[in-house]
Amino acid sequence: MKILGRLITALITPFEENGKVDYEKAGKLASALLDSGSDGFVVSGTTGEGSTLNQGEKLQLFQEIKSAVGDKGTVIAATGNYNTAESVELSRKAVKTGVDGLLLVVPYYNKPTQRGLFQHFKEIATCSPIPVIIYNVPGRASCNISAETCLELAHGCENIVAVKEASGDLSQIMKIIKGKPENFLVISGDDMLTIPVIAAGGSGVISVLANAYPAQCTELVSQSLKSNFKSARELQFRFLEMIELLFIEGNPSGVKEMLSIMNICHNYVRLPLVPVSRTVHTRIQKAIEEINKS
């Protein structure tokens, strides 16, 4: 937990109106989030629109964010995809930018077997001198890494130190927590499930919501880790609708719209993503107003 942090923000990637990455804005946003309670960041992940960033843009983002936050926060580079060799190449290059860890998504589209998943993650981890986090998100990958395979990697690969679990399957998550090595971390990959995952023995959350509400997310995680679940629930209930609105028309379109309304960042996204509809914009605006009143 000291290496990675309890609240890790799945950082958005700010763009200029012409579609270019706004590296300066990204660094400033990361620094501001650290000051508001975030322990670190995943850079160029799902929320960071990594699927539409080229390798050069990703590497510059890793370097710029790490330069901006220094040793004050953890920078985790999302370097995994459905191509093991490419993932190894990008991971090696990312290490040279000074990042603190790697996030490796379950390979999508090609639907490997559990043995294929094991070999994929082992191959990349073997080439990495820094900690590795597995990212299980079957809703996007159309492929689930089983509890058994996850535990085999946790016990067999020393530098695979955590799993970001976004399967929504609490039974699977608890099996991993039950069978994991002592120092292996199980991190919620879903803002809506932060409390139950921590209550079951998880270590924290990689959060989309924290882009806009880092202080509140920090408090939610802190109260949950202290088993102050009444206080944690009260915080969670305040943000139930907001969390739903983050994803109703795609991530990060929802959170970028929220940040735009809050005058933090423009709502520019790259195709095939588009900004949220006027209807969702109005709902987000109303939800922000309600939260500000409470």
pLDDT at 4: 86
Helix (H, G, I), strand (E, B) or coil at 52: helix
Question: Burial code of 11-26, b = ≥16 C-beta within 10 A, e = fewer?
Answer: bbbbbeeeeebbbebb
Beta carbons of 81 and 87 less than 8 angstroms apart: yes
pLDDT at 294: 78
H or E stretch covering 104: strand 101-105
Q: Where are the domains of the chain?
A: 7-228
pLDDT at 1: 41
Beta carbons of 289 and 282 less than 8 angstroms apart: no
pLDDT at 203: 97
Active-site residues, by number, are 135, 164
Beta carbons of 265 and 29 less than 8 angstroms apart: yes
**To the nearest 10°, the Cα dihedral for 41, 211, 170, 141?**
-70
Per-residue pLDDT of the chain (294 residues; tens, 9 = 90+): 446 899 999 999 999 999 999 999 999 999 999 999 999 999 999 999 999 999 999 999 999 999 999 999 999 999 999 999 999 999 999 999 999 999 999 999 999 999 999 999 999 999 999 999 999 999 999 999 999 999 999 999 999 999 999 999 999 999 999 999 999 999 999 999 999 999 999 999 999 999 999 999 999 999 999 999 999 999 999 999 999 999 999 999 999 999 999 999 999 999 999 999 999 999 999 999 999 987
CA gap 243, 272 in Å, rounded: 22
Helix (H, G, I), strand (E, B) or coil at 21: strand
Alpha-helix residue ranges (DSSP H) falling in the chain = 23-35, 55-69, 84-96, 114-126, 138-141, 147-156, 170-179, 194-199, 214-225, 229-238, 240-247, 253-261, 278-293
Domain 7-228 bears CATH identifier 3.30.365.10: no
